Amino acid sequence: MKNIILITGGSDGIGAATAYLAARRGSTVCINYRQNHAAANKIVTAIREEGGEAFAFQADVSDEAAVENMFLAIDRQVGPLTALVNNAGIIESQQKLVDMSAARLHKIFATNVIGSFVCAREAIKRMAVKVNGTGGTIVNVSSTAVKHGAPFEFIDYAATKGAIDTFTLGLSKELADDKIRVNAVRPGIIDTGIHGKAGEPGRVDRIKAQLPMKRAGQPEEVASTILWLLSDEASYITGALLDVSGGR
């Protein structure tokens, strides 16, 4: 039976690195993207040129109907899902809470939290042994921002990741009898485009000297951890929150 992995937010950053690495290790990769069709298709093409199997699926994970349709499309076009990486997430510009609007909060929680819940729900419907599935794995992408709260920058983003941690712990217990393992990775400062999206493209250079290892992580370092948690090498691990943060 082949491994079929859905990676949400898979068109760049940690998601893209995970897609490439998973394909090179023999998995069939389903790359979800919200709007960057060109980037997602570029990854699919590159994977196929290397002899791997990859597909792209458009869906805004904050839209329940879009998520449901994406999973149905995967059923039809690819086959039964064996793993989910809940990586899709958004971040807004650096801001203190006193300046944040409710609209901003609704938007970020809808994508980062509710989107992960709904994607996991649809994956469970296909993987759980109680519905004739064969089991599977879920890895949620959290953040070490949960440990310090990201004050003065994006406490809303940090709070969504705190929710993801709790979600991971609870869901791992719900699904243990269904042969579905649920874990989370918590990246620290990783050298991706997320810092530019938050309004400070040079944030890595500003912060790296404060880190114990004096450097930012690379997306491939997070990707390899995700794939380890998805693998049989982590077969007795569920409900774990694994920091990939260079000691931060």
The pLDDT tens digits of the residues spanning 65-75 come to: 999 999 999 99
- Residue numbers of the domain that contains 199: 4-244
User: Taking 90 as the threshold, does the pLDDT of residue 24 lie above it?
Assistant: yes
Enter the tokens of residue 45. Answer: 């093409």
210 or 14, which is more confident: 14
Residue 212's pLDDT is 85
pLDDT at 198 (0 to 100): 64
- Confidence label for 216 from pLDDT (cuts 50, 70 and 90): confident
| Burial annotation 35-66 (CB, 10 A radius, 16+ → b, else e) | eeeebbeebbeebeeeebbbbbbbbbbbbbeb
What is the enclosing helix (H) or strand (E) of 121? helix 115-127
What's the token pair of residue 149? Answer: 């709260």
Distance CA 239, CA 106 (A): 27
Q: What is the pLDDT of residues 32-91, one digit of tens each?
A: 999 999 999 999 999 999 999 999 999 999 999 999 999 999 999 999 999 999 999 999
Active-site residue, from 20, 33, 157, 236:
157
Mean pLDDT in residue range 204-228: 89
- Provide the pLDDT for residue 152: 94
Name the H helices within 25-111.
37-49, 64-77, 102-109
More confident site: 61 or 205: 61
C-alpha 213 chain-centroid distance: 24
Total structural domains within the chain: 1
3-state secondary structure of 242: strand
What confidence tens digit (pLDDT) does each residue in 94-121 have?
999 999 999 999 999 999 999 999 999 9
11-29 average pLDDT score = 97
Task: Give the tens place of pLDDT for each residue, 159-203.
Answer: 999 999 999 999 999 999 999 999 999 999 888 877 777 667 777
Q: Has 236 been annotated as catalytic? A: no
Please say whether the beta carbons of 243 and 214 come within 8 A. no
> For position 2, what pLDDT does the model report?
86
Angle at 146 between CA 145 and CA 147, to 5 degrees: 90
List pLDDT tens digits, range 124-137.
999 999 999 999 99
If you average pLDDT over every residue of the chain, what do you get? 95
Q: What is the CATH number of the domain that holds 32?
A: 3.40.50.720
Task: Give the model's pLDDT for residue 191.
Answer: 87
